[in-house]
Amino acid sequence: MNVLVTGGAGYIGSHACLRLLNDGHAVSVLDNFVNGHQQAIDVLQGLAEPGRLTFCEGDLRERDKVAALLEDRSIEVVMHFAALAEVGQSMGDPLLYHDNNFVGSLSLLQAMDRVGVRRLVFSSTCATYGEPDQTQIPIRETCPQRPINPYGASKLHVERLLADYAGSVPEFAYAALRYFNVAGSDPEGRIGEDHRPESHLIPICLQAALGKRDRMSIFGTDYPTPDGTCIRDYVHVVDLVDAHVHAMHALEPGDQRHYNIGIGKGHSVRECIDTAREVTGVDFEVVEAPRRPGDPPTLFACCDRIQEELGWTARYTDLTETVSTAWNWFSAHPNGYED
Ligand code: UDP
């Protein structure tokens, strides 16, 4: 298939490109390099069969450019990853988030509408659920969506936009995948995770192990959990991408699919730190710090729906394995991408 991957130079998008290329698809990437890396594209270009990967630098809000790309490359399906995804940043600059994530997605959909591209797999998030009542854990797709930050709100608005559009265009089909905490890297270490600044737990542990940070902090040790630290569902990026591929192949006209993507169990912050120490062999320094605003105590997914409907299930269910693949990347690229 001819697939457009928005945000294909970023962490998750580049892993999607790798998988799509391996599966024999023709991949077109659109990325504005706000969070993406040229070097990720270079690596992918080096792995792709001639002509199977094309790159366009641009922004989703450049609607004419996006429409031309869709038409020129005869795109059949879009995997839409391009987004800003820092909760803290979204609290400080909600307009930026709604413009980039919502207006960007609206513009993409308008371009798709103009040229008749009818299938979309959208990166949504468990942040659309906000702070679910702890009786609703594990979280099902039917859990009320009440985001508590502009990042989650911007993604929920896109889900609603997609539903409205699908209601008026019967041939349109979409899947919104609500990611839990994404972790790990290509097991061969060819591409990986490089956020600047980094805010995610597992990369921060690994940077501490590398000596890139003097120490790391646990944000909150007084949560109502067995060890007092927050519990999250860490899904491997390779499994996440596999869920996208399952969704892409399943889409039929009129489909409006919504799936949680996780491993269906949670790990505490302390468990992640212990695992990172074990995997790296480095006893990096950890300090206890106050809670981070907006962190619910426990979040993990129920993934029965995607398992039942699409036959997808996570294969990386062992945190040590997930952290090991991340460590392959971080230890070989202590400074991340060199661009
Ligand atoms: N966390 C932490 N120290 C850090 C980074 C994160 O204790 O340096 C905690 C954070 O408070 C949350 C969990 O680790 O409970 C996962 O955070 P992350 O930012 O990786 O993902 P989020 O759950 O916010 O999407």
Residue 55 covered by a domain = yes
Residues 6+ apart with CB under 8 A from 234: 180, 181, 182, 183, 202, 263, 267, 272, 319, 322
Q: Is residue 201 within 6 Å of ligand 1 at its C-beta?
A: yes
Containing domain of residue 24, as a range? 2-183+235-262
CATH number at 176 reads 3.40.50.720
In this prediction, residue 172 has a pLDDT band, given cuts at 50, 70 and 90, of very high
Does the residue 221 lie in any domain?
A: no
Return the residue matching tokens 């693949």. Answer: 325
pLDDT over 90 (residue 295): no
Residue 321, pLDDT score:
98
Is residue 17, in this structure, part of any structural domain at all?
yes
Omega prior to 334 cis, within 30 of 0: no
pLDDT digits (tens, 9 = 90+) for 116-134: 999 999 999 999 999 999 8
Atom of ligand 1 nearest to the CA of 269: 14
18's tokens: 């790798």
181 close to ligand 1 (CB < 6 Angstrom): yes
Residue 112 belongs to some domain of the structure? yes
Tokens of 140: 């099902």
Q: Which two tokens stand for residue 284?
A: 């990096």
pLDDT in tens, 45-78: 999 999 999 999 999 999 999 999 999 999 999 9
Q: Which DSSP string do the residues of 79-121 spell out, in sequence order?
A: EE------HHHHHH-HHHHIIIIIIHHHHHHHHHHHHT--EEE
Give a yes or no: residue 304 inside a domain: no
- Residue 236 CA to residue 261 CA, distance in Å, equals 10
Q: Which of 292, 299, 322 to mutate to test the pocket of ligand 1 (most atoms within 8 A of CB)?
A: 292
Residue 201 lies in a domain: no
| Residue 25 near residue 1, CB atoms below 8 Å | yes
For 174, how many CA atoms within 13 A lie in the half-sphere containing its CB? 28
235: part of which helix (H) or strand (E)? strand 234-236
Task: Tell me, yes or no, whether 61 lies in a domain.
Answer: yes
Domain count, the chain: 1
**Residue whose CA lies nearest to ligand 1 atom number 18:** 200
Residue 308 in domain = no
Look at residue 26 and give its three-state secondary structure. Answer: strand
Q: Is the per-residue pLDDT at 88 higher than 90?
A: no
- The answer, yes or no, to whether any atom of ligand 1 lies below 6 A from the CB of 86, is no
> What is the value of pTM for the model shown?
0.97
